[in-house]
Amino acid sequence: MQIKYPDSDNALRSLWNVISFIEGRFNSCIGQKHNAITIFYASSLIITRRVSYNNIQLFDKIKDLINLSPRNFICLIRTTAPSYFHGHMKFLHKQAIDFLRDKCYVVLYDRKREFLNHAKFLIFYHVCFSESIVYHGKYYGSTNLTQVGLSYNSLHVGNYEEFDITNPKPKLNITGPDLFYLREVQEQMNHKKKLYTDPNYLKSFLLDHLNAMNSVLQHSNRVISGTSLGELYETYINLLIIYNQTYALLEEMPGKELIEKLIEKLMEIKPVTNPFELEVMIPKNLNNAELLAGDLMFKDAELGEIINKHVEIVRKTYGLIKEEYLSKLENISEYFDEKERIFLDFVRSNSEYHEENLEKVISWPKVSER
């Protein structure tokens, strides 16, 4: 592990070295018309557009690589839904997502009902079938993709962070841990593609969430009539969680022109709860809920009232999504924004090639089999 001191740019330098390495290999293989694929998988809580090193912006560098040959470059980004944040943070985070989402698979919500995407890493595989070689490297640590997270400003103000790096190098075998990451890429890429190309998948993805909302509502109605403080608290938290996740779900869905209006309406109903506040409030179980409710000095009657209010909020949102989104799902492409239209073309032209080659990497022959 390495420490990034406030006045050090070692984290950004290390990250930059990984990307420069990818650039070198990718340019060389594409230049020689090799049969090659680069798998670039990055996750961060916050991403921002203007992080730069030696006056080159990080995201420009990534975008240039993709544009050089989109079919040979798989870019998967996992991050937080912008509406989880406020003000300028929300704006800048969304700006970075918008910059990438026409040619990257950007994932903001996981159907396994992930609470927060807090993992920060960059992992890559560059596989050249023509040369029969795999290159791999990774960067991971506490750093978000922000200037002071990775480096410092002109006054040498920066974050205290920790990170580690596996320097890019050739790899003989694709082993178990590699398969784990590659299958994650496969799963997430497939998911994002199907949201835009498979109406049945899109519908069932939405219905899964609507059903989850419905179960929280039903459970809340059962709990409200006289139970323990712990149960009331747990119910209140479950309502807050499903409401926050609804924002993330919407931002994950296609049809941005429709989604933006829906999110505005949700903001009027109730803004998201600060995810960090909610994170510390989530109890492990009922006993734990009882303790937390006591710590926060909640009273039964007060929680009952709060629950009623939040049941109304979730119910209203449920109805809104059904009426204004689910009903329009069959013609969702009419509500695509420019970026989505480009992404759909990108998926149509490249995703089959991406899938085939990712599958080839996953079944890369072991040394002993070659």
Per CB under 5 A, residues contacting Zn ion are 29, 34, 36, 128, 130-131
| Cα separation values, 192 from 103, 104, 123, 251, 254, Å | 12, 10, 19, 12, 9
| Amino acid, res. 60 | D
Minimum separation from the CB atom of position 264 to Zn ion (A): 48
Name which of 129 and 201 has its Cβ closer to Zn ion. Answer: 129
CA 35 to chain centre: 29
Cβ contacts of 26-31, under 8 Å, gap ≥ 24: 26/65, 26/68, 26/69, 26/72, 26/73, 26/126, 27/68, 29/72, 29/126, 29/128, 29/130, 29/131, 30/68, 30/69, 30/72
Name which of 37 and 42 has its Cβ closer to Zn ion. Answer: 37
Of 209, 192, 208, whose CA–CA distance to 245 is shortest? 209
Name which of 40 and 325 has its Cβ closer to Zn ion. Answer: 40
Name which of 2 and 28 has its Cβ closer to Zn ion. Answer: 28
226: left (phi over 0), alpha (psi -120 to 50) or beta: left
Minimum separation from the CB atom of position 165 to Zn ion (A): 24
Residue 58 tokens read as 């990080």
* Contact by Cβ (8 Å): 242, 311: no
Minimum separation from the CB atom of position 132 to Zn ion (A): 9
Distance CA 28, CA 310 (A): 56
User: Regarding beta strands 56-57 and 52-53, do their DSSP bridges make them parallel or antiparallel, or are they unpaired?
Assistant: antiparallel
Name which of 2 and 20 has its Cβ closer to Zn ion. Answer: 20
Name which of 15 and 22 has its Cβ closer to Zn ion. Answer: 22
Name which of 29 and 42 has its Cβ closer to Zn ion. Answer: 29
Minimum separation from the CB atom of position 288 to Zn ion (A): 54
Minimum separation from the CB atom of position 23 to Zn ion (A): 14
**DSSP helix/strand/coil, 94:** helix
Distance CA 31, CA 73 (A): 14
Minimum separation from the CB atom of position 170 to Zn ion (A): 12
Q: What are phi and psi of 366, to 5 degrees?
A: -70, 155
Distance CA 232, CA 170 (A): 55
Minimum separation from the CB atom of position 133 to Zn ion (A): 7
Minimum separation from the CB atom of position 10 to Zn ion (A): 30
Q: How many CB atoms lie within 10 A of CB 70?
A: 18
Name which of 29 and 258 has its Cβ closer to Zn ion. Answer: 29
Minimum separation from the CB atom of position 30 to Zn ion (A): 8
| Cα separation values, 354 from 80, 166, 187, 272, Å | 24, 25, 12, 36
Name which of 37 and 45 has its Cβ closer to Zn ion. Answer: 37
Minimum separation from the CB atom of position 40 to Zn ion (A): 16
Name which of 34 and 118 has its Cβ closer to Zn ion. Answer: 34
Residue 30 tokens read as 């594409």
